[in-house]
Amino acid sequence: MTKVDIPMEKFYSDLVVYLIKENMQFMIDKIEMPKKHCTVIMVDDTILSTGFNRFKTSQIAIEFGYEYGEYHSELDAIIQVHSQIVDIPKHRLTMINFRLNRFRNLGISRPCSKCLSWVNKLFGNFVYTNTFGGLTKESLITGECHDIMSSEELREKFLPKTRQHTHAFS
């Protein structure tokens, strides 16, 4: 079993909860796609850019091989900061992805094969919502991969508490 860096995992899990809370309404209201992805690029503990998937044609998206030139959230985020990060050692760079559907359920947001082809070259880590809606951290340097928060824990933190209604029947 590998040693887990608890403080950094807590940092990532708290950050993702914050990012979901801050971006959820925008994603639900403004992103026209049924699966709404958000990508955040960080150097050390500083957010450099935030990107969203969208129906937007772009020459750079076509050059990267994205179908119909549509933006993936990873591409949207990297376009904003590529010139700033090319000389930063990859162990300092982290990409964070999460995905919401129209019902505000979290889904898998691990980068696709097109995105991974360049993500692997630039980033040391990425954190993403997994198949079950939990949070996974993957090291692109060591290949280690482990869950850092369950779907239940994550949903409990970002969804507002709802009052349970009880009905008295006479």
Residue 138, pLDDT score: 95
Structure tokens at 163: 């009052």
Domain boundaries, the chain: 6-158
CATH T-level assignment (fold) for domain 6-158 = Cytidine Deaminase; domain 2 (3.40.140)
Residue 29, pLDDT score: 84
| Through-space distance between the first and last CA atoms of the chain, rounded to whole angstroms | 57
CB neighbour list of residue 114: distance below 8 Å, 6 or more residues apart: 64, 65, 66, 72
Q: Find the mean pLDDT for residues 52-77.
A: 81
Q: Is 159 a residue whose pLDDT tops 80?
A: no
Q: Is 157 a residue whose pLDDT tops 70?
A: yes
Pick the closest to residue 140 from 77, 76, 91, 86 (CA basis).
91
Based on C-alpha coordinates, what's the Rg of the chain?
17
pLDDT tens-digit readout, 86-145? 899 999 999 999 998 878 889 999 998 889 988 999 999 999 999 999 999 999 999 999
Q: Find the mean pLDDT for residues 148-154.
A: 92
pLDDT tens-digit readout, 8-50? 788 888 899 889 888 888 888 888 888 899 999 999 999 999 9
